[in-house]
Structure 1
């Protein structure tokens, strides 16, 4: 599928340049001029990268970034006419992934988008049915939205992602995930499977994502991520 880029820029000439550059690379581009419109878009559908101007009419790009990081892990590249070190540091500290000062080359922006995507989706990173595992950060994303998981929920879903068609018995999951936990029972697996299903379902509804029941129960055998 082509990358879908959200462009948040109130200057028409700059926005048109970015839209053309994205489309020339077979990327989809959605353009909005206000920070609130960007936040609304991100709550309605997933994007692959956000190109975010700092100087917006309704709120600063910094504030947009702060708010979107509460519910969204989509990479952010700041676009700004300001090239002060303090602005770059602030942007990175609140969750931006990159920073491009104006005037910029559209080709450079495209190159930075591709570089971020290569880091996000290396060939050896498991990605199954919209689930993306980031082992270095101990995080799992569902259609690029961060799942809020407890330690054992993360370990359980990670185990299923790494072998998506394998049927894991409750005993195998207990031995793999709850090795050091005291006084655990096999019913613990069922409880965590239930909470994982609920979190995936809730995120799908909240973000209007196309979803399916990915964690499958095999009666008398155990669980797998896919049938």
Structure 2
């Protein structure tokens, strides 16, 4: 198995790499978040079977790295960190981490958790809206949206330009707040797929669910009004929301 170890402390990384190597793992060490993202690019060699991700990285927080990894790949991610509080655990899992291990840990337990997440089946590709898979809430992996190649997404009458954060409805620009745009961009990455409320809060507001539910509802209502197509953002009762591209 190939493992990507994301750890800024060289002594910790060397000790863990040695242990993992003795158990038959091929370990690549990344010292920063950006180095980890680069290592996961398709042209960087064979795919990794698992990522061990520390949260205290020098260039960016490990939560942000996890979110970026989840946008690109379904490779299992285990957060390995000294942050033991429940809020951090919840936040990490909602961002798409497959497991969360607190330092100091037993090496045998870490090995067992690596094998456990690696045995899990890969994430299903989403089906069209209304299909059987549309009822499953899944983490974001890689962009797959209707529209032309590049960063402009066409969603029925709505056009979403990611680099400029510009949104138009039937060719007319509309003004969105930063969070409204982030919410729309998140849902637009997987039309027809349900995003759990907790996942949306973690992705857009970078925090845990506690006390933020009403804020999400307000932003959804505002976004529906501005898009002038309320049915475009559908509520899935008890789960979350999904974006439905209007026909025609």
- Paired residue for 1:32? 30
1:149–1:64 distance in 2 versus 1, CA, 3 Å: closer
Question: Is this contact kept in 1: 2:71–2:142, CA < 8 A?
Answer: no
Q: What secondary structure sits across from 2:71 in the alignment?
A: coil
- For structure 1, which segment, 105-114 or 77-86, has the greater mean C-alpha deviation from structure 2 after superposition? 105-114
Question: Is this contact kept in 2: 1:52–1:78, CA < 8 A?
Answer: yes
RMSD (CA atoms): 2.7
Q: How far is the alpha carbon of 1:81 from its aligned partner?
A: 0.8
Q: Distance in 2 between matches of 1:55 and 1:16?
A: 17
**1:54-93 Cα deviation digits (max 9, x unpaired):** 0000001100011111111100000111100000000000
- Rg comparison, structure with higher value: 1
Question: Is this contact kept in 2: 1:17–1:106, CA < 8 A?
Answer: no
- Paired residue for 1:59? 60
Query: Structure 2: 5+ residue runs without aligned partners?
Result: 128-132, 135-140, 146-248
Question: Is this contact kept in 1: 2:73–2:142, CA < 8 A?
Answer: no
1:20 is aligned to 2:21: no
Give the 5 Å matches for 1:47-196: 47-120=48-121, 134=124, 138=133
Query: Structure 1: 5+ residue runs without aligned partners?
Result: 121-131, 140-145, 151-227
Q: TM-score scaled to structure 2, two decimals?
A: 0.49
1:38–1:25 distance in 2 versus 1, CA, 3 Å: same
List 4+ stretches of structure 1 deviating above 2 A.
132-139, 146-150
1:133–1:17 distance in 2 versus 1, CA, 3 Å: same
Q: How far is the alpha carbon of 1:26 from its aligned partner?
A: 0.9
Q: TM-score scaled to structure 1, two decimals?
A: 0.53
Q: How far is the alpha carbon of 1:11 from its aligned partner?
A: 1.2
**1:5-53 Cα deviation digits (max 9, x unpaired):** 0000011222122211221111100001100000000013411000000
